[in-house]
Structure 1
Amino acid sequence: MSNSHTLFRPDVLDGPKVRKIGLADLKQALVEGLADFSAMPSHLVFLGLIYPVAGIWLMIGNPLPLLFPLLSGFALIGPFAAIGLYEVSRRRELGLDASWKDAFGVVRSHAMFPILSLGLLLLVIFACWEYSALALYRSLFGTTWPQSFTQFFGQIFGTTEGWKLIGFGTAIGFVFAVLALSVSVVSFPMLLDREVDVPVAIYTSVKAVLVNPMIMALWGLIVAVSLALGFLLVFAGLAVVVPVLAHSTWHLYRKVVEPAPR
């Protein structure tokens, strides 16, 4: 792995070459992601994770105004949570057997420390989004929380402050979403795939977005809409949506970033 003093040399930061891709490539990545999920379904595992997390959220009584930021923030940390599924796609691509042992065995990967470091960065972005959402709500409504969904929705859709919250909150959330997408869209698969440092992976990910702005914007929209539909289906839809998006992310990485020279 590269030494830290080389991280900011132009030749190092130039990193892997990034391709310009089109709609056909994006569609193929989704098809291949669905094929990986079909070959090794993981919906029961995700059901076993999603519902306890949802239950904990209900038990600790999180204030209703943070419900949307928490749900939307799931997309910010999703790339880190899906690291085991990238490994499944990687092994299937190489023609190797892929099992849950391999998926969880990623914790022994050479890239685990860089992956954890990048995961921590996403958690920081997530925390900043939550704090921003909380500060915006308090600036408009004060510190008193609504006591029911009916009161909360009336507050949001029936007042001028509520519409301001929707407008400003959407704008702020969009900024955080673009930031998270830019630093993570291909960086986690890349860290798993080859021996590079976190700055190189982030640089390559940002470059992939800059080279393919419309395709990456569409990919971000697909992720957001898919997760929203998953939440609407009483969280159960996430058990399919999350793994399919994760496998598709691996194949998107393969299409955007040129393979390492042999």
Structure 2
Amino acid sequence: MDEKPRTKANGLPEDTRPFVAPCRTIDRAAPLRWLRKGWRDFCAAPRVSLIYGLIMVALSYLITGAALTFGNMGLYLSLITGFVFLGPILALNLYGISIQLQQGQEPSLRESFRQVRACIGDGLTFTVIMIVVFLVWARAANLIYIFYPVNEWHLENVLLFFGVGSSVGAMFSAIVFTASAFSLPMIMDRETDMVTGVITSANAVLRNKLALFVWASLIGVCLLAGLLTAYLGLMVLLPVLGYATWHAYRESIDASEWDARFELPPEDSEQ
């Protein structure tokens, strides 16, 4: 007699699961609701949130100091934007804190590290992909600096440099955002693989272009605000964005066909 496909507690048989988790329709106001939920989680766990934010600010200063000491403006821009590219993997701990809050626990970084270990393999796979993207972007940024140098800081050269650099950077950022918008929260929430997470994320972004464009714009504004405050604003903004990303995934993706890593109550999209 043929052996039946293995079925886990709350998912479909492994050989009948789709390649992509279906996404819900996302309204244009949803990104603001996600930010409110992110702020709510920040206020519920201020100590661990600020510790995480302080670590990110310290890393930002280290990157800036290294680039300005040993490199040039092109290296600085490639490193700081590369740091932004790698931000999604650094947010896994924030998803763990949101999970603890939804479970009614007292949040702790130690517990969030334990939760991250459950999906570390796929997280490292995503990290490798992002490092490759970062290296390509770093090379592109240096080439832009070579062809459009700003050493003399003439206005025309500066505008041309930032115009070309912003256009190329926007292309790389769009690729990274499409791949990471929901993929890492999904592998943190469900026992799935990174390929399924990335396909699910890309599908959701392409099906809800306007709402996700608003979300990407809000992320960009928050990061710009952090840069304009000499990175100090990132101490609060990065944790809020991480928590908001978790709630964005929970509202937008129906991953019920995969087994849950943690028992969580359903997300209320009206809060």
TM range (shorter): 0.7 to 0.9
SS of 1:236's equivalent? coil
Distance of 1:107 and 1:248 partners within structure 2: 18
| Corresponding residue to 2:28 among 23, 27, 33 | 23
Q: Give me the CA root mean square deviation.
A: 2.3
> Displaced runs of 4+ in structure 1, greater than 4 A?
none
Q: Deviations over 1:147-176 (max 9, x none)?
A: xxxx4xx24x243xx433222212111110
Distance of 2:216 and 2:164 partners within structure 1: 20
How far residue 103 of structure 1 moved from its aligned partner, in angstroms, is 1.9
| Corresponding residue to 1:175 among 171, 178, 181 | 171
Unmatched tracts of structure 1, length 5 or more: 3-8
Contact 2:190 2:255 in 1 (8 A): no
Distance of 2:116 and 2:41 partners within structure 1: 21
Q: TM-score, normalised by structure 1?
A: 0.84
How far residue 200 of structure 1 moved from its aligned partner, in angstroms, is 0.5
How far residue 45 of structure 1 moved from its aligned partner, in angstroms, is 3.5
Alignment partner, residue 219 of structure 1: 215
Distance of 1:186 and 1:54 partners within structure 2: 28
Alignment partner, residue 75 of structure 2: 66
Alignment partner, residue 61 of structure 2: 54
Alignment partner, residue 163 of structure 1: 159
Q: TM-score, normalised by structure 2?
A: 0.81
Contact 1:75 1:223 in 2 (8 A): no
Q: Deviations over 1:156-213 (max 9, x none)?
A: x243xx4332222121111101100010000000011001111100000000101110
Unmatched tracts of structure 2, length 5 or more: 1-5, 7-14, 260-271
More helix by share: 1
CA gap of 1:136–1:31, structure 2 versus 1, over 3 A, is same
Pick which of 68-77 and 85-94 moved more: 68-77
The number of aligned residues is 241
Matches within 5 A, 1:125-140: 125-140=133-148
Alignment partner, residue 239 of structure 1: 235
Pick which of 15-24 and 88-97 moved more: 88-97
Identity of aligned residues (%): 28
Matches within 5 A, 1:180-219: 180-219=176-215
Alignment partner, residue 79 of structure 1: 88
